[in-house]
Amino acid sequence: MSKTWLITGASSGLGRLMTERLLTRGDRVVATLRREGVLDELQQAHGERLLVLKLDLTDVAGIRAVTRQAFERMGRIDVVVSNAGYGLFGAAEELSDEQIDHQIATNLTGSIQLIRAVLPYLRDQGGGRIVQVSSEGGQKAYPNFSLYHATKWGIEGFVEATAQDVAPFGIDFIIVEPGPTATDFAAGLVRGTPMAVYDATPAGDVRRAVADGSFEIKGDAERTVDAMIAAADAAQPLIQPLVRLALGSSAYTGIKQALEARLRMLEAQRDVAFAADVD
């Protein structure tokens, strides 16, 4: 049975590839993007099965208007894919106030407001699934990506709590955590102003690795999208209201190491933690 999907950030990268895959198999897609005309070729090929809407995630009123239009036009949406976002690159003090505000408004606040906007419709239709595209960077951190990590760690916390809120309504979540993947993500990085004082630091090492291409990218975009679609196609509801899906060997290894290190740190503090209880 065909499904209907709402996908943000569908103009390029994983969002574009997912849109193409789903349309090819016969599903219906509401694709949102900031630049008009990018999906004209797909629109001509697939007609009414593709609804393209312009959306900037920093526009909260626009998020609500587009969500209303999508559900009114399609009637029912089975899967919402919160995919839009970008990376802000630079050590924390290299970034401008405006860059920080825009990163948070897009990746974090925009994703939160999208989820808030779709929940009433999913609840009224008896359930649905929300796929939040995060990153391995939602559970670990690299130098030079502090604000990007802040948004990904933040949206994962929001989703984990919200999944518990809405599970009784048949709404569940998948957090997708890809490792570095061969998309145009790097080309879309917004960069701070480099400071020479960081040249001999881990931030400088990462900056040079990205610049010279030695920053390792193992993830395959097509295989990543196939795994995302397969997870979203799984029977509803999920066994639990939230599933985290690490994609790529880099994501699996990096997240595992980060979690193990945090667990060791926690276990070492057991006596201190328990001593803080009321007698």
Strands 28-33 and 50-54: parallel
pLDDT digits (tens, 9 = 90+) for 63-98: 999 999 999 999 999 999 999 999 999 999 999 999
Q: What is the reported pLDDT for 120?
A: 98
Averaged pLDDT of the chain: 93
d(CA 49, CA 52): 10
**Could you tell me which residues come within 8 angstroms of residue 238 by beta carbon, excluding any fewer than 6 positions away?**
129, 172, 174
Cβ proximity of 88 and 147 under 8 Å: yes
Q: How far is CA 126 from CA 30, 113, 130, 171, 196, in A?
A: 20, 21, 14, 8, 56
The question of whether 140 is a catalytic residue gets the answer no
Q: What is the reported pLDDT for 182?
A: 66
Superfamily of domain 4-275: NAD(P)-binding Rossmann-like Domain (3.40.50.720)
The question of whether 86 is a catalytic residue gets the answer no
Q: Dihedral, CA atoms, 144, 146, 152, 153, nearest 10 degrees? A: 130
239 against 226, higher pLDDT: 226
Q: How far is CA 257 from CA 19, 61, 161, in A?
A: 33, 40, 24
d(CA 78, CA 28): 10
Out of 140, 152, 198, 250, the active site residue is 152
pLDDT digits (tens, 9 = 90+) for 3-27: 999 999 999 899 999 999 999 999 9
- Name the residue ranges covered by the structural domains of the chain: 4-275
The question of whether 134 is a catalytic residue gets the answer yes
Out of 11, 111, 134, 250, the active site residue is 134
d(CA 188, CA 183): 10
